[in-house]
Chains A and B, each alone.
Chain A
Amino acid sequence: MSVSVADVETVEDAADQAERFRTLAREQLPQLYSIARRLVGGDAEDAVQDCLLKAFQRFGQLREAAAGPAWLTSILINCCRDRGRAIGRSPQQVGLDEMNEFSLFRKIAYEDPFPYSDSLHLDFLEDFGPEDVRAVVRELPMLYRIPVVLVYMDGYLAREVANMLNIPLGTVLARLHRGRKLFEKQLWNYADANGLLRRTAR
């Protein structure tokens, strides 16, 4: 069987494309893993594996190299969403109305039974280590966990997240608002369950 010049060029193109994909992905591995840990915890490695395989198949769709990191992140988000559906309570179980009115600051500063201190609300946060914060974030329903992680932890703009998830900006802003209210409420619950409130009181 003869091999045409066109076939040789196609093979070289494919090899070149695979190498460009590897270069992009290698650079992004630490960041992808870090995001996946916050979204799906112990399934992070599997989620990144899924992401690499899917992204490689679709690499031809990436038009600009500069958009590579956000493009990989958006594929990772879908992989995490598929894996993480069972993790995190649904918003219905949380009580949206009650949650929208919750203020952790007021809870700590005014409703807390411990003696008044001007910096009690800041002391409260000091007791949370990075592991604690990530554990609380992982408790958020996936709907809110994704924008909270991307915007407040990774520094993406709400507009960029809207593009990544292909949803309107207003929807992202509404989920961020509910997500941070729920995060505040769960910080309090976590502090209560893990004895952090008693330490604050000392």
Chain B
Amino acid sequence: MITCSEAIRHLWEYLDATTDESTREAIEEHLARCRACCGELEFAHELRRVLASSAHEDIPDGVLRRLNETLEELGP
């Protein structure tokens, strides 16, 4: 069985389903027996959600206006 640190190294790729099949199987075998790494997985999942949900920031009206002015000035 792979060690905790090996399992943890691939947890985010595992969440993305981007690991190869043998790594995925090794992680699932490890998770079935390791409660601590199940906690790591749950935490990694939540951390991803927090990052994705923090992405958007509205563009202020003044900035949008100035950038649009720049675009209008471009041309042949």
A residues near B, CB below 8 A?
Answer: 11, 14-15, 17-18, 21-22, 25-26, 29-30, 33-34, 37-38, 44-45, 48-49, 52-53, 56, 101, 103-106, 109, 121-122, 125, 128-130, 133-134, 137, 148, 152-155, 158, 173, 176-177, 180, 183-184
Contact = CB atoms under 8 A, between A and B. Distances in A.
Interface of B: 5, 8-9, 12-13, 18, 36, 39-40, 42-44, 46-48, 50-59, 63-64, 66-68, 70-72, 74-76
Secondary structure at chain A's binding surface: helix, strand, loop or mixed? helix
B46 A176 contact: no
Secondary structure at chain B's binding surface: helix, strand, loop or mixed? helix
Given A105-B43, A121-B39, A122-B46, A45 B66 contact: yes
8 closest Cβ pairs, A-B complex: A14-B76, A133-B54, A153-B55, A130-B54, A105-B43, A18-B75, A33-B59, A152-B51
B47 A125 contact: yes
B18 to A, nearest CB: 7
A18 to B, nearest CB: 4
Contact of A155 (B5, B39, B52, B64): B52
A152 B48 contact: yes
